[in-house]
Amino acid sequence: MGSFLTPILHRVPLAEVRHLCQPPKARSTQDFTIEPVGQPDNLLDPDRIRPAVRLSPTHKPPGPGRYRLTPDVNDWLDELPDRPIVLHIDMDYFNNRYDGDTDWISRPQRFDPPLEQILLKIDEMVAALRRPGLAARLVDVVVAYSPGFFPAELWAAAADRLVLQLERMT
């Protein structure tokens, strides 16, 4: 979830985050409490404090101020509250070949499934989103292509499938 959500979680500390992630990065469903914190900015200015997030494991179910990491689409959507939803689809969920690593080819555990498998995962994810009443609560859907993670040669076919499937939900 990295740095792009950190400012949002500082501004909306009771946000609920659900992160659908395939192995090897997520092998089971895990729940955490989100704690907005400050930490020294060791990259740009060590004398300044920057926003950060601390995740503490919990056995509590998903809810406000919590983060769920899971490879399971059913756990991802389990016990969703009846509230508006912002859906961020990061295409590296479907293929994370590079994982931001210029030495990706030498990594022993690459997540680089073929296009056919990616398209099936898109279908699976959107099918899970077809739960009754869920589509009406989607207030925004954002798709991030992640060029340092998701291979560009897959963009057109994956986008065509994803957009078609999402349009069928409405």
At 24-52, the pLDDT tens digits run 889 999 999 999 999 999 889 989 999 99
Residues 169 and 107 in one domain: yes
Beta-carbon contacts of residue 160 (< 8 Å; ≥ 6 apart):
none
Residues 67 and 124 in one domain: no
Residues 62 and 109 in one domain: no
What's the average model confidence in pLDDT over 133-141? 92
Residues 89 and 59 in one domain: no
Residues 92 and 166 in one domain: yes
What's the average model confidence in pLDDT over 126-141? 93
Residues 100 and 111 in one domain: yes
Structure confidence at residue 103 (pLDDT): 77
Residues 124 and 141 in one domain: yes
Query: pLDDT-derived band of residue 2, with 50, 70 and 90 as boundaries?
Result: low
66 neighbors 102 (Cβ within 8 angstroms): no
Tens of pLDDT, residue by residue over 64-117, are 999 999 999 999 999 898 999 999 999 989 988 877 777 777 777 778 899 999
Q: Which of 88, 73, 69 is nearest to 121 (CA)?
A: 73
33 neighbors 65 (Cβ within 8 angstroms): yes
Q: Which of 79, 100, 121 is the last residue of a domain?
A: 79
Q: Which of 48, 79, 110 is the last residue of a domain?
A: 79
Residues 88 and 73 in one domain: no
Residues 72 and 99 in one domain: no
Q: How many domains does the chain have?
A: 2
Q: Which of 79, 106, 127 is the last residue of a domain?
A: 79
Tens of pLDDT, residue by residue over 54-67, are 999 999 999 999 99
Residues 3 and 22 in one domain: yes
Residues 117 and 52 in one domain: no
**Residue range(s) defining the domain that contains residue 161:** 82-170
Of residues 102 and 126, the one with the higher pLDDT is: 126
Range 110-148 burial, b when 16+ CB lie within 10 A, else e = bbebeeeebbebbeebbeebeeeeebeeeeeeeeebbee
Of residues 147 and 32, the one with the higher pLDDT is: 32
- Does residue 1 have a pLDDT over 70? no
Structure confidence at residue 99 (pLDDT): 73
What's the average model confidence in pLDDT over 130-141? 92
For residue 108, the one-letter residue type is P
Residues 88 and 116 in one domain: yes
Among the residue ranges 1-5, 35-39, 122-126, the one predicted with the least confidence is 1-5
